[in-house]
Each structure stands twice: as C-alpha cells, then as structure tokens.
Amino acid sequence: MSDWLKNAVFYEIYPQSFSDSNGDGIGDIPGIIEKLDYIQELGCDAIWLNPCFVSPFGDAGYDVQDYYTVAPRYGTNRDLKNLFHEVHDRGMHIILDLVPGHTSDQHPWFQESKKAERNEYSDRYIWTDSIWESTDPMPCLRGISDRDGAAAVNFFSIQPALNYGYYSCTKPWMQAMDAEGPRATLKALEDVMRFWLGAGCDGFRVDMAGSLIKNDDEKGSGIIKLWNQVRSFLEEEYPDAVMISEWGEPDKSIASGFHMDFLLHFGPSHYNDLFRCDEPYFSSRGNGDVSAFLETYNANYAKTDGKGLICIPSGNHDMVRLAKFLTPEEIEIAFAFLLTMPGAPFIYYGDELGMRYVEGLTSVEGGYIRTGSRSPMQWNSGLNAGFSEASPEMLYIPVDPSEDRPDAESQMDDPESIRFTVKELIAFRRKHSALQSCGEIEFLTGSGYPLAYVRSDDSEKLLVVINPSAQPAELAYSGKAGECLFSVGGGFRAKDGVIKMDGQTAAVFEVE
C-alpha cells in the first residue's frame, strides 16, 4: 500500500457540477484546477474524480464511449494531465473513476460487436447465440442489429456488459474466463489503466468491481482471480497505483488486491442506518439504532485481517445528501464520527458545507432521484452560487434556489459553520496517527447512545465518545480517560469511571 493512502482524506468531485471556467453552464477541468487551493485548505490531500471521458452521457459518463479521451465539455487530455500536475505540485494525489464492467452502446467496440460478421470485437461483450434466448438473469438488448443474439446489459439499457467470462458455464454461448474473448477484454482494461497511470494519475476507484465475472461461486473465486491478475500487472509496472473498489464485501475486495473497499448505501452494510433513513442514528431525536451497523462493520473489519481499509463516505453522487435527513448541528456530529473512523474518509463535494438535496428536479443524464444530489457547488452568494457565469437556464443542473443556501465563502472563516468544524477535524486527525486509516478500532458500545470506541496504534490510544442525541448520555468506562483533546457540540464530564455527555456532543480523550 502506498504510504500516502494511510493518511489520505479524499474529496469527491463530480465534474459536471464543481466549477465552470468558461461559462457554458457545465463544470470543467480548468475549473477544478482553479479550486484546488480550496480543497487543500480544507485539509483534503486526495481527489476522486468521477468519469470525465467521451460519452453520450446517458448515465453521467458511466456510459463510456472512449476510455482514452476526455469529453470536450470538460476540456482535453492535456487539461487532465495538467490537473494531475497541479495536484501533485500541491503534494496531493488523484484517482480516476474506472468503469470496467460496461461501456456505452455507442462505443466503437460495441458497434463492431453488433456486426454479423465475426471480428476481433465479436466476443468483447456477452451475447447469446439466438435472438430468442435472453441473458437471464441479466437484462438484455435484442433486435438491435443484424447479429443473431441478445446482448447482456448492466443496469441501464444503454450499457452493454463487457465480457470477462463465466466462472461456471451452463449454456453453450457462455464463455469461460480463459477463453480468447474474455482474455482480450481483460487486456483492453489493463491497456486503459496503463494509459492513465502513465499520464500521471495515482490510481482508480473501480465502479461495480465485484460484478465482472458472471455465475461466480459464493466465495467470489472467479472475480478474485481476475483482479489478482490485474494486481500482478500493476505490481510489475505501477506498484504504487492505488485501487479502491465499489464492492461492499471487504473480504473479497481485499483478497482481490484492492487497497480499500467502500461501505455501500445498498446491500447488507446498514450504512443507511447512520445517516439516511426515517430515524438516522445521528439524528438528535435519539431514536436511531446503530447495533446492526456495528455488527456488520465488526464482521467486515475482522475479514480485512489488517490487510486493507474500509471507507465510510459522507455520501457520493448516488446517494441523497446528508442534509436531507440531518440538520447542520447533526452533520457536524456525523463528521466527528466519519473523521475518527479507520479507512480513508471520502467527503462528497459540498457535504462540508451542508449542501442540501434539491427536491423536485427533472432527471438529468440518468440521475433520476440522484439528480438532487448533483446540483452545482455553492461557492458564494452571487450568480449561480459562484459556480458559473452562464445564464441560469444554461446550467447543467439548477442551483439550490433557497435564499439561505450555504456557501463556501461565508463558511470558510465562520467558526460556527460545518466547514470550519470539518477543517478542524481533518487537522486533528492528521496530528494523531491512531485516528488515521490504519489505526485499530475497538467498539465499547453495541447499541443506544452514546457511541464509543477506542482507536489505537503503537504510539497512542484514544477514546472517542459520540452522543448524537439531544438528550444527555453516559458511558461507563473501565479505563482511565485523560485529557480531552478535541470536542464538538456541548459539554462533558469524566469522573469516577463515568463519562457524562451533553446532547449532540462528540469528544476525543487520551487514554492513560
């Protein structure tokens, strides 16, 4: 694992909505470069950049049409390489979003694959032998070309699934992982990675990383084998390249050679119990339940066996924003949790301000319910919140119309703001190695309020106590809590083995 990842704090940038430098209503790479100092001043030293390549944008760039070329609306390949350079000049790092599971149906590979005549791309995608046979249980496209057969798709019908093979072949048209077509697809993926790593990026966040091999066994034997082949290629050519998976199964992703796995907002993680449900644990109402999350987290943490990291993001482009469910005060307490947990934190752009979910927006580029979380970054109180000089009707997605919408300019020097608290928390995390990505964690509570855990490494041991509820809460602590090193919210008292926490309070203590 690269040393920088052990203490990284990531900032996710959705390029369409971050900063528009040329007034066309869409964010772009030069605009990102202009705002790098803002990200660095916040304390983040790594960037995850969502897809920025040529695409028909049926799914906001996750429908890639050309893996090798930056979409003109964002700039040029030279602009992206310049972004890499400017990031590195600041001592920061940047990873790109890699979409290996599917392409756009407009990709030249798929256009060739659709042809009736056999060619080098015929097996680049998953096809049945007959138009009358589907790719069940996967959805499929059929009647789209002269080729006889149906093509499997991932999620949207504009995203035909690339062919990495089947672990278990049960029908004649299913190809084994070591067949010529799947091997050619894997080589094409490695070529894409090689191109951008050679251009200067520091690694990849891999979309749907666990989905490439079909009919895999319960252990994920096929997909683990595939990614270990990729890891071998990287170790030989780019040993410092960072790989982060969108998977949600740390035991499989870490065994596959990934350095980190995300806890997802879907599936069995109970991540939504924390921030995004009718009664989030971090709501001051105090009706939330953290027990299922802790049980799942502990099981996943044990599975990493010290070999990888689990990330708990503030949010991302696929989730409704924190502020849909939490007040600004509640968000500050949530960040006290996010920035004292193991694994590299990921902050979705604008979450550090408490940007709101914008209700009632018409879907843009396949966003649907997600569109409200993709509104333009709010830089100031001026035109278009400082995002763009374009007329408002030209914006890719409308700005939050609220008169009291939060913005970066007003929060940067306001000690009562969310951003100010987030900045302080990041700085505090950096000063204490036990709080960083690889520090160990032991939970002292399993349900109710407060939430308490000990973070430790070879040099220090810290006690974190968090009470999101508006009601006071107590922790019976058998150890000896020393000086409070950091706190957010209300007050606290530590005496005679009991730590009493006011409502909406988080504190970090030395352990003597």
Q: What pLDDT is recorded for position 3?
A: 87
CA distance readout (Å), 368 to 268, 311, 360, 481: 23, 26, 10, 48
- Supply the pLDDT for residue 50: 97
| Residue type at position 64 | V
Whose structure tokens read 């990505």? 437
The domains found in the chain, sorted by start residue, are 3-102+182-430 (3.20.20.80), 103-163 (3.90.400.10), 439-511 (2.60.40.1180)
What mean pLDDT do residues 363-372 have? Answer: 96
User: Could you tell me the pLDDT band of residue 368, with boundaries at 50, 70 and 90?
Assistant: very high
Specify the pLDDT at position 125.
Answer: 98
Please report which confidence band the pLDDT of residue 373 belongs to, taking 50, 70 and 90 as the band edges. Answer: very high
Q: How far is 157 from 104, CA to CA, in rounded Å?
A: 9
Q: Angle between the 221-237 and 180-199 helix axes, to the nearest 10 degrees?
A: 40
- Listing DSSP states for 151-194 in one string gives EEBSSSTT-BBB---BSS--STT--BTTSHHHHHHHHHHHHHHH
Q: Which residues have a Cβ under 8 Å from the Cβ of 239 and sit 6 or more positions away?
A: none
Q: Which pLDDT score is estimated for 413?
A: 87
378 neighbors 406 (Cβ within 8 angstroms):
yes
pLDDT category at 507 given cuts 50, 70, 90 is very high
Question: Residue 504: which residues within 8 A CB-CB, separation 6 or more?
Answer: 284, 329, 330, 333, 467, 468, 469, 470, 489, 490
Tell me, what's the pLDDT at 128?
98
The whole-number pLDDT of residue 301 equals: 87
What the block records as the tokens of 22 is: 């040329």
On the question of pLDDT at 218 being above 90, the answer is yes
> pLDDT tens digits, residue range 153-209?
998 999 999 999 999 999 999 999 999 999 999 999 999 999 999 999 999 999 999
pLDDT digits (tens, 9 = 90+) for 393-416: 999 999 999 999 999 999 998 999
Average pLDDT, the chain: 95
The DSSP line for 320-375 is: --GGGT--HHHHHHHHHHHTTSSS--EEETTGGGTPPP-TTPPP-TT-GGGGGGSP
Whole-number pLDDT of residue 512: 80
**Cα(77)–Cα(60) distance, integer angstroms:** 19
For residue 277 the two structure tokens come to 């449900």
- The reported pLDDT for the residue numbered 231 is 96
Residues 160 and 103: beta-carbon distance below 8 Å:
yes
In sequence order, what are the residues at sequence separation of 6 or more whose Cβ sits closer than 8 angstroms to the Cβ of residue 185? 123, 124, 162, 163, 164
Contact between residue 186 and residue 226 where contact means Cβ atoms under 8 Å apart: yes
- How far, CA to CA in Å, does 350 sit from each of 33, 317, 400, 408? 17, 11, 12, 8
- The predicted-structure confidence for 321-347, as pLDDT tens digits, reads as follows 999 999 999 999 999 999 999 999 999
Please say if the pLDDT value at position 71 is more than 80: yes
Tokens, residue 391? 């007329």
**Beta strand pairing status for 151-152 and 140-141?**
antiparallel
pLDDT the model gives residue 397 = 95
Average pLDDT of the segment spanning 78-102: 98
pLDDT, residue 268, reads: 80
**What whole-number distance in Å separates Cα of residue 59 and Cα of residue 107?**
14
Instruction: Give CA 134 to chain center in angstroms.
Output: 33
Euclidean distance between CA atoms 67 and 51, whole angstroms: 10
The pLDDT-based confidence of 481 (bands split at 50, 70, 90) is: confident
Residue with tokens 């660095």: 40
What pairing do the DSSP bridges indicate for beta strands 260-262 and 151-152?
Answer: unpaired
Mean pLDDT of 244-253: 90
